[in-house]
Amino acid sequence: MLIMKLSLRMQCFIFSLFFLFLACEDLAAQDKKKQSRRERIMQRFDKNKDGQLDEVERESIRKLLGRPQQSDGVSTVKREDKIHIPKDYDPKKKYPFILTLHGYTSSGRGQLRFFPLGELAEKYDFIYCAPDGVGKSWNATEACCDWNGKVDDSKYLRSLILKAMKEYNVDKKRVFVTGLSNGGFMSYRMAHDHSDLITAIVPFAGVGFDQWPSNPKAPVSVLHVHGTKDKKIKWSGGEIRGKKYPSAEDNFAKWKIFNGCDKKSKVEKSTIDLDRKTPGSETEIVRFESNDGKVVMELWEVVKGGHVTPPRSATRERIIKWMLARSK
């Protein structure tokens, strides 16, 4: 009897082990199937082969599943685009608005590390926003970085400016855009597409189209900062993925024509120490104005400066003052 009981228990134990083995095999097969599915998805949609799906690549999947972006071209993804106001904001008072745009693979937070605005906003009373681009990029030009052609960042950023105007007392005559690299390209794109709205731009290491599709409808003041030893967006111009972009000087000359700024004028301090990475007063400034002096063009040539030229605090303040002095 005891032997029979032990035998039954042994049988139950063996059956339990058998079913546990089958369950483990089934789970392993499911994991393998999931892994195989993920590999197929990555092989098809991971265009830049970095092992991750960015927002543009995810958008391609959503489109395939019948859930594409909105018809207006603005991505459905939730972006970080908080609007910052001074601590002592007064709704009865008009405030300038500054939109600051990050470079490719960066973010709004990254841009604010490159060009901090918090303390300056308190000191000079302006509102600002440092939004995130979809896929950590801006759809600015065919060279940088309209590689997917899916997201209408020009429309999105205009809507962001209009949102700031609706929620706060923004001075419509003083709306500014600045940006680094891809954000610099996007600054020019905004000046071209929305010259009715943008007062001035300050692009760092970014230019515009090699061939502009049209002239902007209204003049927009420009302060362009560029390093002569920039290896990514070259001072002398170049191409990205087979798409050309102009040299800093050719781009500046084109916008001089757009703005009617053919009158060279004196600069209070034409050589300054801008770049924290380069010793000495390495930056040379040339300035042109329209006949009435209202529209201003300045080219800041950072001699031997690289792609990212983080400005010193005194230079950041000078740039902010330059912007705030402009008005439509």
| 21-61 confidence digits (pLDDT tens) | 555 555 555 555 555 666 777 677 666 666 666 555 555 66
pLDDT at 17 over 90: no
For residues 291-316, average pLDDT: 94
Q: pLDDT band at residue 72, thresholds of 50, 70 and 90?
A: very low
Mean local confidence (pLDDT), 171-177:
98
- Determine the pLDDT at residue 180: 98
pLDDT band at 85 (very low <50, low <70, confident <90, very high): very high
| Mean pLDDT on 245-250 | 98
* Distance from the first to the final alpha carbon of the chain: 103
Question: Residue 3 above 50 pLDDT?
Answer: no
- Position 66 confidence tier, pLDDT thresholds 50, 70, 90: very low
Residue that the structure tokens 């800041």 belong to: 300
The phi, psi pair for 243, rounded to 5°, reads: -105, 130
Predicted local confidence at residue 146, as pLDDT:
77
Two tokens, residue 306: 């690289």
- Per residue in 87-114, pLDDT tens? 999 999 999 999 999 999 999 999 999 9
What percentage of the chain's residues is helix, strand, coil (to nearest 5)? Answer: 35, 20, 45
| Confidence (pLDDT) at 43 | 72
Give the phi and the psi of residue 84 in degrees, each rounded to 5: -100, 130
Backbone angles phi, psi at 102, to 5 degrees: -75, 170
The pLDDT confidence band at residue 275, using thresholds 50, 70 and 90, is confident
110 Cβ contact list (under 8 Å, min separation 6): 102, 103
Length of the chain equals: 328
CA 299 – CA 283 distance, rounded (Å): 10
Residue 244, beta-bridge partner list: 239
Of the candidate ranges 7-11, 147-151, 153-157, the one whose mean pLDDT is the lowest: 7-11
Angle between helices 153-167 and 182-193 (to 10 degrees): 70
pLDDT at 9 over 90: no
Residue 217 DSSP symbol: S
- The pLDDT of residue 16 is 60
Going by C-beta distance under 8 Å and a sequence separation of 6 or more, which residues neighbour residue 195?
A: 216, 217, 218, 219, 220
Query: Distance (Å, rounded) from C-alpha 250 to C-alpha 197?
Result: 25
CA distance 73 to 68: 10
For 201, other C-beta atoms within 10 Å of its C-beta total: 28
Query: What is the predicted pLDDT for the residue at 184?
Result: 98
Q: What is the pLDDT of residue 52?
A: 63
Band (pLDDT 50/70/90 cuts) for residue 280 is confident
CB 322, CB 298: distance < 8 Å: yes
- Which helix (H) or strand (E) covers residue 123, if one does? helix 118-124
Average pLDDT of the chain is: 86
> What pLDDT shows up at residue 68?
43
- Calculate mean pLDDT across residues 148-170: 92
Helix, strand, or coil (residue 138) = coil
Question: What pLDDT was estimated at residue 70?
Answer: 44
Contact 297, 221 (CB under 8 A): yes
Residue 105: count other Cβ atoms within 10 Å of its Cβ: 14
One-letter amino acid at 250 equals: D
In percent, the amount of the chain with pLDDT more than 90 equals 68
Q: What was the pLDDT predicted at 24?
A: 57
CA distances from 255 to 40, 66, 98, 116, 262 (A): 47, 42, 21, 27, 10
**Taking 70 as the threshold, does the pLDDT of residue 317 lie above it?**
yes
How many C-alpha atoms does 175 have within 13 Å on its Cβ side? Answer: 21
Please give the model's pTM, rounded to 2 decimal places: 0.78
The domains located in the chain, with CATH, are: 35-68 (no CATH), 83-324 (3.40.50.1820)
Distances (CA, A) of 119 to 84, 126, 164, 178, 313: 12, 10, 20, 17, 11
